[in-house]
Amino acid sequence: MILAEDILQAHLRIKPFIHRTPILTSERINDQTGCQLFFKCENFQKVGAFKARGAMNAALQIDRENLQNGVATHSSGNHAAALARAASIVGTDAFIVMPKTAPTIKKKAVLGYGGKIFECEPTLAAREEMLNEVVKRTKATQIHPFNNDHVITGQATVAKELLEDVPKLDSILAPVGGGGLLSGTLLTAHYFSPGTKVFAGEPEGADDTYRSLKSGKIEASQANTIADGLLTSLGDKTFPIIQQYVNEVMLVNDAEIIQAMRTIWETMKIIIEPSCAVPFAALIKHKEKFAGQRVGIILSGGNVDLEKVLKLFVS
Amino acid sequence: MILAEDILQAHLRIKPFIHRTPILTSERINDQTGCQLFFKCENFQKVGAFKARGAMNAALQIDRENLQNGVATHSSGNHAAALARAASIVGTDAFIVMPKTAPTIKKKAVLGYGGKIFECEPTLAAREEMLNEVVKRTKATQIHPFNNDHVITGQATVAKELLEDVPKLDSILAPVGGGGLLSGTLLTAHYFSPGTKVFAGEPEGADDTYRSLKSGKIEASQANTIADGLLTSLGDKTFPIIQQYVNEVMLVNDAEIIQAMRTIWETMKIIIEPSCAVPFAALIKHKEKFAGQRVGIILSGGNVDLEKVLKLFVS
């Protein structure tokens, strides 16, 4: 069980290695939505996403003996770069299993931090099989992208900073994929700002969290959305936290995600990735629910293949 | 003649109506360029560009009698939106002459602030003719996009904030089109930080400033570049200031501008327009000149037609 003290300790531990990201506001968007929005810009975070926090927190807690064997994970995206960076900071190897289909920009990022990539077929089975092989050979410490207490605790520091800089938020919105960021956000709100409600935005084409809450067990994701950071299902560490604390999971379709992303690009002049636009899309869709409120929105990341995204806008 | 005191007064005057824009840094870009860069983000300014400052400073100094007749200008871009916004704040009409070819996003911005658009052919002659007609009919006060002391003084506040937040810069780089931002920057450096050298970036396809400095008279711009905010020639108020104080005008071609813009989009996760990338492109091209220096770069604006930019990145 993750305690308030764990989140405080994690924040102290990772602070020297991460950005305290800015919080941006936009009068125009406030006018459009009828609430007061505070965007926590993790797209400006190291490696371009909040994942820098969880990976750093996990890597800093490996003991000396295990550390020399390296760290390993499978990830199609930002956690891969985050773990490669964390490994380079603590001075060890990062073995990263990535699906062949992962975006070029994300592969480049891993290589840029000195990570070693192992490509596999883009299925969960293939990823796990190759990761097991790598770990067996190297004895590296596995650091799961989200189903890991140290990772969840690291991601919890996003909402901690948000609530320090903007106290008394009525609501916080975060995206949900595997649930690392969402469960961290839920724990932070629970411990440090119990009056703040936490909502999740989820793509209709990967609405496993929505369905899991209905059925009471972890459902598989259909992984059919442009929000390519939110394709995974929940894990046994994230699901119970979400089940206990989340206020509501709000679904949005890809057209709504693209429109929300475009609004942020054009109005706020910042680059966010499709997954990152999901909570804002959910807020727009349900704005009557947040009318007059002070709402924090976690912008999770800004790593995009520009050609791909610009084509979304044109088509 | 614009005095130090005028710049101080302008800043106090416009402060309530503009953003104090943030200054961003990027370790990765510092590594790539070998200097310490401070990006002054006027792409986050009201109306998405520094032009909000000059227009506001000018509009706030119109006397009550003239104010009721409105303000007028011809502009293909950000000054148009900036003046429409300033007019709405001081409570008068804005009559904006725009070439038919102006980007849709910029026309929408003018209309969004309640400005009245008069479309004309995309030639300087056509623009001036229609503006004269409008002014004759309305008795509106003309506020030129750059060849106006109040406008220049307003633009000078960008560098003032930059130097307040990051003292002792070795160099500042700004783009040059009509020269409003550049001459304001030169005056601020001259008065408040005389040890700071000021450089301009200019597109090869609109290198009239470069040629004007060589010939000693205002040369016409060939207006052949993707940096569509920098197509104009200098004015008789901006040229003498530039002639007296600028350190050097550095030329870059469109491919270099596109590459620099892309680097900023991808690395810093912020949206800048092509014109805005020109000084950074110049710095990259001449990085040996700035090795080890503390360099301020003014990012002038972030208003882009996303469809157009896609074509630049893909082709």
ipTM for the whole complex: 0.92
Cβ-nearest to B306 among A44, A48, A313: A313
Predicted confidence (pLDDT) at residue A58 exceeds the cutoff of 80: yes
What is the model's pLDDT at position A154? Answer: 98
Across the interface, of B24, B266, B268, the residue whose CB is closest to A306 is: B266
Spatial CA neighbour of A229 closest among A198, A173, A273: A273
* Structure tokens belonging to residue B85: 């916004």
| Residues ≥6 apart with Cβ < 8 Å to B183 | B152, B155, B237, B238, B241, B242
**Using a CB-CB distance cutoff of 8 angstroms, which residues of chain A are in contact with residue B269?**
43-44, 48, 270-272, 302
* Separation in Å, CA A141 to CA A60, A64, A67: 12, 12, 8
Find all residues with CB under 8 Å of A194, minimum gap 6, and list them.
none
Helix, strand, or coil (residue A169): coil
Q: Which residues of A164-182 are buried (b: 16+ CB within 10 A; e: fewer)?
A: eebeebebbbbbbbbbbbb
CB contact under 8 A, B265 and A306: yes
CB within 8 Å: B306 and A43: no
pLDDT at B311: 86
Residue numbers in A near B48 (CB within 8 A)? 269
Q: Where are the beta strands (DSSP E) in B176-266?
A: 197-203, 248-252
- pLDDT at residue number A27: 93
Q: Give yes or no for residue A309 having a pLDDT over 90.
A: no
Res B120: pLDDT:
94
Q: Which residues of chain A lie closer than 8 angstroms to B313, CB-CB?
A: 306-307, 310
The pLDDT value recorded for residue B56 is 98
Say yes or no to pLDDT of A105 above 90: no
**Nearest alpha carbon to residue B143 among B177, B94, B104:** B94
Instruction: Please tell me the distance from the alpha carbon of residue A12 to that of residue A178, in angstroms, as a whole number.
Output: 25
* Residue of B269, B276, B304 for testing the chain A interface, max A β-carbons within 10 Å: B269
What residues in A contact B78, CB-CB < 8 Å?
none
Q: If you measure CA to CA, which chain A residue comes closest to B313?
A: A307
- What is d(CA A216, CA B164) in angstroms, rounded to the nearest whole number? 56
Rounded to the nearest integer, the mean pLDDT of chain A is 96
Q: Using alpha carbons only, what angle is made at residue A259 by residues A253 and A265, rounded to the nearest 5 degrees?
A: 135
Residue A310, chain B, CB below 8 Å: the answer is yes
d(CA B7, CA A137): 67
Nearest CA-CA partner of B227 in B282, B268, B145? B282
- List the 129-188 stretch of A: residues with Cβ below 8 A of B: none
User: Between chains, do A271 and B271 touch, taking CB under 8 Å as contact?
Assistant: yes
Q: What is the pLDDT of residue B76?
A: 74
Check residue A34 and give left, alpha or beta (phi > 0: left; psi -120 to 50: alpha). left
Q: Which pair of structure tokens corresponds to residue B1?
A: 């003649």
| Closest chain A residue to B315, measured at CA | A307
Name every residue whose Cβ is closer than 8 Å to that of residue A55 and which is 6 or more positions away in sequence: A79, A82, A83, A85, A86, A143, A151, A154
Kindly state whether A31 is in contact with chain B, defined as any CB-CB distance less than 8 angstroms.
no
Helices (H), chain A: 4-14, 27-33, 51-59, 64-67, 78-90, 104-112, 124-138, 149-165, 180-192, 208-215, 238-245, 254-263, 278-285, 306-314
Instruction: Kindly indicate the confidence band of residue A103, based on its pLDDT and cuts at 50, 70 and 90.
Output: confident
Number of A/B CB contacts below 8 angstroms equals 53
Query: Is B307 near chain A, with CB under 8 Å?
Result: yes
B263-302 residues touching A, CB cutoff 8 A = 265-266, 268-272, 302
Amino acid (1-letter code) at residue B162 = L
User: Is pLDDT at A76 greater than 80 in this prediction?
Assistant: no
Q: Which two tokens stand for residue B135?
A: 């002014």
Residues 6+ apart with CB under 8 A from B35: B283, B287, B290, B291, B292, B293, B294, B295
Distance from CA of B14 to the nearest CA of A (A): 18
* Banded model confidence at residue A65, pLDDT cuts 50, 70, 90: very high
For position A176, what pLDDT does the model report? 98
Residues 6+ apart with CB under 8 A from A65: none
| Contact residues for B56 (Cβ-Cβ < 8 A; gap 6+) | B13, B14, B17, B18, B82, B85, B86, B89, B154
Residue A297: beta bridge partners? A39, A173
For residue A315, pLDDT over 80 is answered with: no
Positions of chain B with pLDDT lower than 70, given as ranges: 315
Tell me the torsion sign for CA atoms B202, B205, B209, B213.
positive
Q: Which residues of B touch A24 (CB under 8 A)?
A: 44
How far apart, in whole angstroms, are the C-alpha atoms of residue B141 and residue B131?
11
- How far does B310 lie from chain A, in Å, by closest CA? 6
Contact predicate B143/B60, CB 8 Å: no
- Name the E strands within B176-302: 197-203, 248-252, 294-299
β-strands A197-203, A248-252 pairing: parallel
Q: Tell which A residues from 44 to 103 touch B, by Cβ distance under 8 Å.
A: 44, 48
Of B44, B272, B310, the CB nearest to A310: B310
Q: Are A175 and A200 in contact (CB under 8 A)?
A: yes
B236 in Cβ contact with B311 (< 8 Å): no
List all residues 6 or more positions away from B269 whose beta carbon is below 8 Å from its beta carbon: A43, A44, A48, A270, A271, A272, A302
Q: Reduced to 3 states, what is the DSSP secondary structure of residue B238? A: helix
Quickly state the pLDDT bin for A124 (edges 50, 70, 90). Answer: confident
Does residue A108 belong to the interface with chain B, where contact is any CB pair within 8 Å?
no
What is the distance in angstroms between the Cα of B105 and the nearest Cα belonging to chain A?
9
Distances (CA, A) of A55 to A88, B1, B55: 12, 57, 47
State the smallest CA–CA distance between residue A272 and chain B in angstroms. Answer: 7
Select from A44, A270, A314 the Cβ nearest to the Cβ of B271. A270
**Which amino acid appears at position B248 of this protein?**
E
A122: pLDDT confidence band, cut at 50, 70 and 90? confident
Closest-CA residue to A302 (of A15, A44, A12): A44
Contact A266 B310 (CB under 8 A): no
Place of tokens 């067990």: A217
Complete domains list, chain A, with CATH: 4-49+149-314 (3.40.50.1100), 52-142 (3.40.50.1100)
Task: State the Cα–Cα distance between residues B78 and B180, nearest whole angstrom.
Answer: 13
CA-closest candidate to residue B275, choices B298, B295, B246, B296 = B298
* Distance in angstroms (rounded) separating the CA atoms of residues A12 and A5: 11
| pLDDT given for residue B59 in this prediction | 98
- Reference A9, options A56, A71, A43, A52; nearest CA is A56
User: How do the residues of chain B divide into helix, strand and coil, expressed in percent and rounded to 5?
Assistant: 55, 15, 30
Backbone angles phi, psi at B207, to 5 degrees: -95, 35
Measured CA distances, B122 to A59, A63, A209, A310, B75 (Å): 59, 68, 54, 28, 10
